Amino acid sequence: MTELLEQLNPPQTAALHAAQRAAANQQLQRLGLPDQRSEAWKYTPLRALSTMQFDRSDSIPETALRQLAAALVEPPDQAADDPTAIIVIAGDQCLLVHTPDWVQSMAELLRTDTDTATGLLQPDAQVREQASDSFIWMNLAQCNNGVMIAVPPGMKLDQPLHIVYADPAAASQSQAAASANHIRVHIHCGAASAVTVIEHFVHAGTSFSNIYRSMEVDEHASLDLLQLRAAGDAAVMIEHSHILQQASSSCRLWALDTGGRLSRQEVRCALQGKNADFAHHGLLLGHGRRHMDQHVMAHHSAGDCRSRQLFRSVLADKSRAVVNTAALVGSGADGSDVQQHTASILLSANAEMDAKPQLEILADEVVASHGATIGQLDDDALFYLRSRGLTTAQARTMLLRGFVQTVLDTLPEALRIAAVERVVAAQLEMLL
């Protein structure tokens, strides 16, 4: 693992940031990378990452980035006035297409706006408390790309914003050198604003993406974030998403994950204002030797907040998923409402699911439930469908469809996009 650390070279950066980066790097060197002795990484080997060799990749022509964006994002309805806003993040390039002026490229910020960039290179309170997230420190030390989205108070967007994460291989359709990118994403939703963001992960070659996302949702604001992870077999994605919610805010996440060589996201949501809503929905569809991790922690520190964690996983071949759902209800956070449910279907004897629901409740008046099931396709249901004339393949597809539908049904209208259907349909076909 030290080889990986030795390969890292901080990008060129303004002198003011250099000290911050050096401090983050020191923190990283002190911590080293996690291994399977630590509980959070018990089921997640980092072999795939430690054996990667990185090169500085060539820059991608802008036309290729534009094509990539156009292929993924459907044009808006004819009736809509605004063209679709797209942010393409590939290698150390960031392309902004039709974005409003409150969307800024991190690379650009690092070069020009020193104060904002300095702020973004600081760990947030949750990192400082935990201090153990090596990958976040690595991100802060190495950050070479990203985006800052600051939705003004009261602004309500009809069209979703799209972020496309790609590697040179996805953009040039050819095999390129392995790339490592440390991407910083910050989304700040001003009071009473509403925004929908769709993230597309389309890495096609060997790549390592280390994403550190921070999201602040102010009073009465709402943020919906859909992540469509449909990367290639050699992509490694390690992500941290930290959410800070104020009173009466809403933050809903959907992680539609078909994995990569390894894809892992740790979500920590701090419910700091009363009457806030947090929901994380995961749909993990694994095949081959893919590995997917979702670790979610909802921390209720104010009263009357709701958190929902709903996961459906279908694993074939030798794929593996780790779903860790946790909620901590702090003392005094009365009226909290916590629900966690994880259900998984294993289609192969070699697939593995590790589910860990956790509740820690220090308040008095709380509604909380959690459950986890792991099973196979129901034989009775298969027989029922076949007895109506469906082939075994049709019956299996229908049952899996029904199983994943529970998560898809939670998508609001704005997120019922063709890309979701495309990814789900293609992946279910792969699984059967």
Partner 1 sequence: MLKIKNLHVEVDNKLILNGLDLHMGTGQVHAIMGPNGAGKSTLGYVLAGRDGYQVTAGSIEFMGQDLLAMSVEQRAIAGVFLAFQYPVAIPGVNNSYFLRTAVNARRVARGEQPLDGMSFMRVLREQAKLLDMDAKLLQRSVNEGFSGGEKKRNEILQMALLEPTLAVLDETDSGLDIDALRIVSEGVNRLRSTNRSMLVITHYQRLLEHIVPDVVHVLADGKIVASGGKELALKLEDQGYAWLQDERESRQAS
Nearest approach, Cβ of residue 117 and partner 1 (Å): 46
Under rule CB under 8 A, residue 398 binds partner 1: yes
Per-residue binding letters, 319-358, with partner 1 (x by CB under 8 A): ----------------------------------------
Under rule CB under 8 A, residue 394 binds partner 1: yes
What are the structure tokens assigned to 299, written together?
Answer: 């921390």
Under rule CB under 8 A, residue 421 binds partner 1: no
Beta-strand relationship, 222-229 and 250-257: parallel
What are the structure tokens assigned to 148, written together?
Answer: 């800052």
Q: How far is CA 392 from each of CA 61, 346, 382, 389, 430, rounded to the nearest angstrom?
A: 47, 17, 7, 9, 16
**DSSP-assigned letters across all residues of 354-399:** EEEEEEEE-SSSEEEEEEEEEE---HHHHHHHHTTT--HHHHHHHH
Instruction: Tell me how many residues contact partner 1 (CB under 8 A).
Output: 24
**Site stretch for partner 1 (CB under 8 A), options 85-93, 173-181, 233-241, 385-393:** 385-393
Q: Which helix (H) or strand (E) holds 398?
A: helix 392-408
Beta bridge partners of 17: none
- Measure the CA–CA gap between 238 and 223, rounded to whole angstroms: 22
**Site stretch for partner 1 (CB under 8 A), options 195-203, 321-329, 358-366, 399-407:** 399-407
- Measure the CA–CA gap between 343 and 8, rounded to whole angstroms: 39
Under rule CB under 8 A, residue 416 binds partner 1: no
- Which residue of 364, 405, 412, 421 would you call a contact of partner 1, by CB under 8 A? 405
- CB contact at 8 A, 406 and 312: yes
Under rule CB under 8 A, residue 425 binds partner 1: no
Nearest approach, Cβ of residue 286 and partner 1 (Å): 19
Under rule CB under 8 A, residue 96 binds partner 1: no
Pick 329 or 423: Cβ nearer partner 1: 423
Q: Interface residues for partner 1 in 109-168 (CB under 8 A)?
A: none
**Site stretch for partner 1 (CB under 8 A), options 140-148, 248-256, 375-383, 421-429:** 375-383
Using CB atoms within 10 Å of the CB of residue 101, give its burial: 0 to 12 exposed, 13 to 18 middle, 19+ buried: exposed
How many H-runs (helices) and E-runs (strands) does the chain carry?
12, 19
What are the structure tokens assigned to 371, written together?
Answer: 């459950």
Beta-strand relationship, 85-90 and 93-97: antiparallel
Nearest approach, Cβ of residue 382 and partner 1 (Å): 9
- Measure the CA–CA gap between 421 and 428, rounded to whole angstroms: 10
- Measure the CA–CA gap between 200 and 202, rounded to whole angstroms: 6
Under rule CB under 8 A, residue 385 binds partner 1: yes
Nearest approach, Cβ of residue 376 and partner 1 (Å): 14
- Which residue of 26, 373, 376, 384 would you call a contact of partner 1, by CB under 8 A? 384
Under rule CB under 8 A, residue 1 binds partner 1: no
Under rule CB under 8 A, residue 386 binds partner 1: yes
Under rule CB under 8 A, residue 376 binds partner 1: no
Query: Where does this chain bind partner 1 (CB under 8 A)?
Result: 378-381, 383-392, 394, 398-399, 401-406, 409
